[in-house]
Structure 1
C-alpha cells in the first residue's frame, strides 16, 4: 500500500496538492483554475460566522460535485436518525455484549444504531456499531445530516476522503466533516467498532480553564491527510444521508478527484495514546469531564450536545479514596463502549466490542465485585494499563432502537450486577 503522510493540527488552516501547481496562489476561485480543474467550496458554517468558528475548505477537482445523477431512496432498516426513529427512552440501565462478527457487508451496510436523540441536522446524536467485512469499492457515503466520529475496536481501516486518505487503527479515532464524501475499507477483516453521528455543532477541543494552555488533547496531535486523487475511471454509487433517510445516485466519475485543497474543514485522525490525562494526586475521584477529548456545544453553556470522553491507561494514586467512579445519577446520558481490556468499574461483564447506556438520571456505578475490591484495596499507587473505554455523553435522553432492544446481544440481567450491595449500616 502507498505510504500515507499527514498534516497536523486540529482546526488549523492547511493546504495540500497532489500535483505541483494545482493550488491557486492569491485567488480562491480564479477565472480559470490551474490545470483545467474546477474550484469548489465546502462550508461547514455560515459565511458570516465569527472567524474563529468559520469552517470551510476550497477544493480544486477534476469534476465538480454537481455532476451526479438523480437520487432515489435507499432502504436501511437498522440505521436510524433522530428521536423520532427510536423506541421509548428507558429508565433501565442497558448493556450489550460484543456485536457479533457476522459478514454484514461493507461499512455502510453493516451500520446498526444503538440509540438516538435529537433531530438530524439540528441537534442531538446517534450511537452506532459497524462490522465491516468488505471494501466499499466504487461506493461513497456523504452524510449531510451529521459529522461522523469513528472509533475502531478491532481491525484497521483505510478511510478515503475527498481531501486524502487516513489509516486508522484501534486506539485511534477518525473525525469526518458533515457533507464530505468518504469511504471506509477494512484492512483487517472483519473490522468492528463504533460511530457517533453528531447532528449538532461541530466537534471542537474543550476549553481548558484553570488547567492552562496545555493538557488533555493537544491540537497538534490531530492529523489531516495530504491531497490524493483516484486515477481509476468508472461509475460510482453515491450514498447520501439526508433528512434522516438514505438516498443513492450514480455518477460517472470518482468523488475522490480533488487534486489540491486548502482550508480548515478537514477530516482528521487522532491517536488516543497522545491524550494527556489529568487526575487527582491527593484524594477523591474527579468528574469524568476531565477526560473530554472533543465537545459539541449546545445552546446552553456547559451542557454539551455531545462530549467524546475516553478512559485511557493512567496512574491511580488518590489516598483514602474510593478510586473507581462513584455511584451517581447524572443529567447527561452516557453511551459507553470498550475498545480494549477491562473497565475498572465493571471488571467482568463489560467486554471489548460491547456497549452500555445509562440515560439521564438512571443510577449507575461499580458492580458488587468492583465495590468490594475497591473498598478493601491497599491504596498504593498503581497503573490502570492495557485498557481503553470511551463515552458519547449527551444532554438529552437517548432512545434505544428496535435493533438494540430486539436483535443486538442485549444483556437482560445486567441490573443484577448491583444486587449484592447490601445494607451494611452500623449505628
Structure 2
C-alpha cells in the first residue's frame, strides 16, 4: 500500500485535477517520473505555450518522414532522434534487399505505417500490414520481404529488451490480452546458394556468408520469439470523467524508455472534465510521437507519417487550433460521446534524445510557432 503524499493547496485551484478548472484558467501539470511521481497543478491565466519565440536546442521539432525517399539502398533505419538507450528512425523499402539482418545491439520494434508483406525470420514468417507492431528480439536473423512498398518506424532498444508493462490493478489482460500476440510457425527453407547475413554490433556491420538458407529451422520452443501485435487489437483504457495521462497507453517497456499507443477511443463526456491533454513540461522524459492515421486530438496541421519531438523543459500541450476544434465539436455534439479517432505511437525516453545527421532533411519549418495564436502549423 502506498502512503498518501502531502497535498498542499494555495490560491485558486480545482479540487480534482483535470476537472472543473477555475473560470479563465488553464491547467498545467508539473510532475515527475512520467506522471507517476510527485506532481503539482498550476492554474494559469495564460497557456504556457503562448510564447512569441523559442531559440536553442530544446526547441520543439517536427519531421515529415514521407520526405525520405523510398530506397532499397539502406540496410538499417535512418535515425531521427536517439541516445545510448534508444534509436528512433524510419525506413522506406520498395522491393527489399537480398541480405538478412541480425541486430546484436538490441531488440527492434517496428511499426508498419504503410505496406504489406512478410517479415521473414529464422523462427518462421510473420505477415504484416499497416498498423502492426513487429518486435524482433536481439540477435534474431530476419529480412523484410515486401509485397508492396513499405514505410516503417523503427525503435531500437539498445542493449535492452522489450517487455509488457505491469498493468497493476487493471489485470494482465487489460489493453490487450497476451493471447492476441502472434508468434511465427516454423517454415524451414532447405535451399543451397550464397546467403548473406549482416550483423550489426556496436553500430558496425559484419557480413557472414552461408552456403544454405539461414531460415532452416524446423521447430522451436521457449519464451523468446519475434512477435506481431496489430494496433486494432489494443483496447485502450478510458474514463468518461477524468482525462488519463499518456502513461495509461503504455504498450512496451524497455530500459530507459517506454512505447505508448494512442488508439481510437471515446473521449470524456463529463462536461467539467478536460478532453484535451493538460499542459506539461516533460520534466523527466523527452517525448517523440509518430502519427500513423486519423486526426490527432491535440494537434492541428500534422500529417500522417509525421514525427514530433518535444524535449524536456519546454512546455507543450494542445495547440490553439486543436483547442478551438475541440470546443466547436463539444458545442455541436452536446453531451454525446465523441471519439479520438487516431493511431499514433509515442516514445518517452529518460535520457536526452538528439537528432540524427539526416533528420534535418525531413524537418518541418517553424513547428514550434504552431502554438502561437493565429499562426497556422506548417505541414
What TM bracket, shorter-length normalisation?
0.7 to 0.9
Correspondence 1:7-406 to 2 at 5 A? 90-100=57-67, 102-105=69-72, 108-109=74-75, 111-118=77-84, 124-137=85-98, 139-188=99-148, 190-283=149-242, 285-296=243-254, 298=255, 305-319=256-270, 320-330=272-282, 331-347=284-300, 349-375=301-327, 377-378=330-331, 380-384=335-339, 386-405=341-360
Q: Distance in 1 between matches of 2:316 and 2:206?
A: 39
Q: Scaled by the length of structure 2, what TM-score is found?
A: 0.79
Gaps in structure 2 of 5+ consecutive residues: 1-55
Gaps in structure 1 of 5+ consecutive residues: 1-88, 119-123, 299-304, 423-427
Deviation string, structure 1 residues 236-274 (Cα, Å, up to 9, x no partner):
111111012222232222211111111111001011111
Aligned-pair distance for 1:151? 0.3
Match of residue 19 from structure 2: none
Would you say the 8 A contact 1:130–1:194 is kept in 2? yes
Would you say the 8 A contact 1:101–1:192 is kept in 2? no
Q: Distance in 1 between matches of 2:232 and 2:358?
A: 33
Q: Once superposed, what is the RMSD of the aligned Cα atoms?
A: 2.0
Aligned-pair distance for 1:360? 2.0
Secondary structure in structure 2 of the residue aligned to 1:192? strand
Secondary structure in structure 2 of the residue aligned to 1:262? coil
Deviation string, structure 1 residues 379-420 (Cα, Å, up to 9, x no partner):
523343652111121111111011002x22x11210111110
The 10-residue stretch of structure 1 (174-183 or 361-370) with the greater mean CA deviation from structure 2:
361-370
Secondary structure in structure 1 of the residue aligned to 2:198? strand
Aligned-pair distance for 1:353? 1.2
Secondary structure in structure 1 of the residue aligned to 2:133? strand
Would you say the 8 A contact 2:269–2:337 is kept in 1? no
Deviation string, structure 1 residues 45-87 (Cα, Å, up to 9, x no partner):
xxxxxxxxxxxxxxxxxxxxxxxxxxxxxxxxxxxxxxxxxxx
Deviation string, structure 1 residues 339-371 (Cα, Å, up to 9, x no partner):
112211113x21111111112223211111012
Give the 4+ runs in structure 1 shifted more than 4 A: none
Rate the CA distance shift 1:156–1:90 in 2: closer, same or farther, 3 A.
Answer: farther
Q: Distance in 1 between matches of 2:96 and 2:303?
A: 27
Aligned-pair distance for 1:126? 0.3
Q: Distance in 1 between matches of 2:340 and 2:279?
A: 23
- For this pair of structures, how many residues does the alignment match? 315
